[in-house]
Homo-oligomer: A and B are copies of this chain.
Amino acid sequence: MVDVKGMPNPLFLREEELRQAIEMMFFAYRDFTGGPDEVLAEIGLGRAHHRVIYFVGRHPGITVSELLAILQITKQSLSRVLGHLVEEAYIVSRTGEVDRRQRKLELTPKGVELEKRLTAIQRDRIAHAYRNAGAEAVRGFKQVLHGVIDAKDRRRFDISGGS
């Protein structure tokens, strides 16, 4: 028999290791969204608006269907948020030229400004973490996070460690 105290059950360690990851995901996401949430609250918007503004900014001309596929919410839910953002002139919606059933979404200058402000908060947090961890750690971070994402959405990311 091996000394159980000196060399504890590797399955137990693995369980602890994995629980740590689960917990870090919770705390990291909580704090990652906390900053933008404060700014949004000041102007009467919520996290749902942020997500829409972010992805429209990231993919100008994105259609409503594409947005729904990313956000994985119902069109009724998106409609409320998106409608509000169009009313408040953060986003414009124009009819698609090739398929006139589609609505292509884009940020207005006002939308771009807000998007920048919100993204800057998250970008600075990530930049800080990246700087302190180093390039090797960043590669690992992306690799693991990539594996956490559903296979169907992995193609969105090139994590070959380019730069």
Residues on B with beta carbons closer than 8 Å to the beta carbon of A147: 128-130, 132-133
Out of B21, B133, B148, which one reaches A140, CB within 8 Å? B133
Q: Does A17 contact B (CB under 8 A)?
A: yes
Q: How far is the CA of A137 from the CA of B144 in the complex (A)?
A: 7
Chain B residues with CB under 8 Å of A72's CB are: 30, 34
B140 touches A24 (CB 8 A): no
Residue of B10, B18, B137, B156 near A126 (CB, 8 A) is: B18
Taken together as a complex, chains A and B put the C-alpha atoms of A72 and B37 apart, in Å, by 13
C-alpha spacing A158/B150, complex, angstroms: 28
Interface size, A (range): 35 or more
> Does A98 belong to the interface (CB within 8 Å)?
no
Q: Give the most central of A15, A20, A134: most B CB within 10 Å.
A: A20
- Flag if A145 contacts B150 (CB, 8 Å): no
Contacts A22-B123, A25-B32, A129-B146 supplied; 10 other A-B pairs, CB < 8 Å: A13-B162, A18-B127, A19-B58, A23-B157, A31-B148, A126-B148, A132-B143, A136-B136, A137-B141, A141-B143
